[in-house]
Structure formats: structure tokens, C-alpha cells
Amino acid sequence: MATLKDIAKTTGVSPAAVSRILNHDSTMSVSTKTKIKVLEKAEELEYITLKARKKNNKPKQRLNFAIVDWYSETALVEDPYYLYLQTAITKEASKQGINLFSVISIDGKYKCTVDTKPDGLIAIGRFNAKQVELLREITPIIVFIDSSPDATIYDSILVNTNLGTKKALERLYEYGHRKIAYIGGNVISEYGTDPEEEPSDQRLIAYKGFMNHHKLFVDNYLLIGDKHTYQNGFIQCENLLNLKDRPTAIICANDTMATGVLAQLKIKGIKVPEDISLVGFNDLPSAKFMNPPLTTVKISMTAIAENTFELLKGRINKVYDYPRNIEIPSYLKVRQSIKKLF
């Protein structure tokens, strides 16, 4: 950073005069030409006045954001995706110097765990209309992650799971697989939890679309259980293995179910990928440590966390006055759990 002496030396003006010019001293008698010369040189040397430096050095007030999720503790253990997502958000908050505290549900009402009015709220999961209204009572500045209850009012971040599923199917097809099974679980719509609204799992939609397009769809290869859990993957895999014409590849709606599938295959003496190729979804930290390391569709939780705080700060600082809806892409992470048939 340039000093007053640096500017004075290059302009031929005394340091005292430079200081008065940069601080817009109206009582100073100096030509406009000289003022312009000093101002231009200060800009060129990126000079910052002492007053501005003092202002910039003042400690900034930390933002306070609240975070709430819709999963029970049991569900978080069964499918730890949201648990890892919360961890990513917590790390990003720490990195940016943001205070983060929880909002919990007690008797159907939401309460902050600290006696602080949040500047904004992060809502992870899929909330119904009543829950959204209750959250709005805490603060109207809300970013919804993994749902978009009302895109005309609230900011939201969704993951393009359709894209990642297509990439996985395309890779399996390229490897010669035609008998591809899908194991999933029931979901709640990304756009609210209206009981009259038909749930839409973009992973399942992508699977059906791809298989029908290539005239490969087989009813028995599509298995949907209640939850996205290890147990569901374990049970549904056994159902697949009981078929006379077994699939050569299995895609699971998440890594947790893929773990259950892998356990079932090992019990039956079926090797991955020699006998059956296996693909998961989410790329949880455990995926690369599975035996074999799991090919999976990766979701960047870091990207979700970074965009979450960008949206909240944008609202608070009035950078924009309209809701924004961000879509995070998903992509295939190839490891040793799939093989070429030809």
C-alpha cells in the first residue's frame, strides 16, 4: 500500500498537501490540475487515507444465522447426508466468521437455542406450508436447502440429481451394461409437502427416462422401499438376486443403501464389480473407503454451503430484492465398483 510520501514524491506535492487533498480539505488553495494529479496517482498506487484505514480496521459485527433441519436424530444416522451437509455449513460459517446456532422444534413450534434474533435462517430439508410459516415468524430471510416451498418468496438451493443419475447411467451403458437395476426409497417433493402433490424424485425420473429411451426398462429391476437406509438396500438387493435374470449393474439412490447392497452381495458370494457393478449417490466420506471403493454421484456440499451464505448476505445487504433459486450440479465420481462388460 502506498504512503503519503510515495504520492508526494511522484507528484512533486508535499506530503501535508497530499494528505489535505486526499481528505478533501475544502479550505486548501490548490489548482484543480494538482488535485487531479494527486487523486490519479493515489488511485494508481492504491492509496487509502488514514481515515479510511481506521474505518476499515474497525471490527465488523458478526452475523448471526440460525439453522434448522427436518430430520430426526434416528433418520440422520440411517441416512447421514444431511448430517454431513450441516457439518459443511458449520465449517463455512466458522471460515467466514459467522455465528451459527440451532433452531429446534418443541411441541410443534420452532425455538432458537440462544436468546438472539437471527439475521437469517438456513432451513435444511422439506417443510410443509405450516412449518414454513412458523419459520417465517423467526425471520423472513430464509434460504431453503434441498427444497423450494415458494420460489416467489424464498431463496433456495437445489441439487440437480437428474444430471448425476444420467451421467451414471451413460457410463454404465458405455461399459456395456443393459440390465441396470435401481434401488430407491420414498421421497417428499422438493417443492413442498402438500399431501395431494405427487412426490418427484429426479433420480428415479432420470432412471425411468433413460431406460425407456433405450428400450431397456424392466419392472422387476425397479425397487422402491420406504426409506433410503442400509436395511432397505440390503433387503431390496436380495429381491433382485432372487430373479432368474439378474441385473449386471445396480444404481442406488444414496451411498447408505449402496452399503447395504454391498453387504448382501458379499453374503451371497457375489463379487463387485466382477459379477455386478454398483453405483451410489452423494459421495459420502465413507464411499472411498468401501471395499471396493464406491463409484458414486458426487454432490459438492462445499458449494451448497458457500452459496447459502452468499444468498443470506445478499438479502441482508440488499444486493438484490428478489428471491434467487440456485441449482448445484451433481457429477459422477468413478471408482473401482464398476467394470466394462465389453
Using a pLDDT cut of 70, give the percent of the chain over it.
87
Domain count, the chain: 3
Indicate whether 340 belongs to any domain. Answer: no
Indicate whether 152 belongs to any domain. Answer: yes
Indicate whether 260 belongs to any domain. Answer: yes
Taking only the tens place, the pLDDT of each residue in 332-341 is: 999 999 999 9
Structural domain of 42: 4-57
* pLDDT for the residue numbered 194: 47
Claim to verify: residue 209 and residue 284 sit in the same structural domain? yes
Select the more confidently predicted residue: 59 or 96.
96
Indicate whether 189 belongs to any domain. Answer: yes
Indicate whether 68 belongs to any domain. Answer: yes
CB 80, CB 283: distance < 8 Å: no
Mean pLDDT of 265-289: 95
Taking only the tens place, the pLDDT of each residue in 119-173 is: 999 999 889 899 999 999 999 999 999 999 999 999 999 999 999 999 999 999 9
28: pLDDT strictly greater than 80: no
Indicate whether 52 belongs to any domain. Answer: yes
* pLDDT for the residue numbered 1: 56
Written as nine digits, the cell of 238 is: 436380495
CB 65, CB 93: distance < 8 Å: yes
Indicate whether 338 belongs to any domain. Answer: no
Claim to verify: residue 72 and residue 146 sit in the same structural domain? yes
The whole-angstrom separation of Cα 7 and Cα 112 is: 53
- Helix residue ranges, H only, the chain: 4-11, 15-22, 32-44, 50-57, 73-78, 81-95, 129-138, 161-174, 202-213, 230-241, 255-267, 301-316
Model pTM score: 0.78
Instruction: Give residue 105's pLDDT band: very low, low, confident or very high (50, 70, 90).
Output: confident
Claim to verify: residue 167 and residue 294 sit in the same structural domain? yes
Of 78-87, 206-215, 314-323, which has the strongest mean pLDDT? 206-215
Claim to verify: residue 169 and residue 293 sit in the same structural domain? yes
Mean pLDDT of 210-214: 98
Claim to verify: residue 86 and residue 11 sit in the same structural domain? no
Select the more confidently predicted residue: 198 or 38.
38
Indicate whether 281 belongs to any domain. Answer: yes
